[in-house]
Amino acid sequence: MIIRFALFAGRVDPSDTASFREAVLAEVLPLWRAFPRVLAVQVCFPDERDEGSPELALILAISYPDLPAVQAALASPQRAAAKAATESVLARFFQGQLHHYITEAHGLELKD
C-alpha cells in the first residue's frame, strides 16, 4: 500500500481553530475522498506535540493500492478541484508551508 502524506507545517490562529477544522472537513475532505482509486483518507488535527516538535495544523494521509494509483489521482480533475478548495481554506486560516511525502506502508493490520 502507498500512503501520500501532506503535512501542514505552520499554525492557525487559536481563535480560528474550530472554523479551520470545520472548513477542512466540509469543503475539502469530500473532494479528497473523490480521488480515483483511493482506499482511505485520514484527516488528523494535532492537539498535542512533544516539546521541540514543529507545529502542524493538519496531517493528511491518503492511501492507495499502488504508485500508479497515486499518479492517476494526482493527474485527475478531482485533484485539481481539491487543490483549489485546499488553497481557499489555507488562505483564510493557515500560515505556514505544505509538505508532501509518498511512502510505502507496511504493518497496517488492525488488532481486535
Does this model's pTM top 0.75? My answer is: yes
What local confidence, expressed as pLDDT, does residue 107 receive? 80
What local confidence, expressed as pLDDT, does residue 111 receive? 63
DSSP β-ladder status, 2-12 and 56-64: antiparallel
User: What pLDDT tens digit does each residue of the chain (112 aa) get?
Assistant: 999 999 999 999 999 999 999 999 999 999 999 999 999 999 999 999 999 999 999 999 999 999 999 999 999 999 999 999 999 999 999 999 999 999 999 886 666 6
| 61-92 burial code (b ≥16 CB/10 A, e <16) | bbbbeeeebbeebeeeebbeebeebbeebbee
- CATH class of the domain comprising 2-50+58-104: alpha beta
Contact 69, 32 (CB under 8 A): no
Q: Where are the domains of the chain?
A: 2-50+58-104
> What would you report as the CA-atom Rg of the chain, rounded to the nearest whole angstrom?
14
Contact 28, 84 (CB under 8 A): no
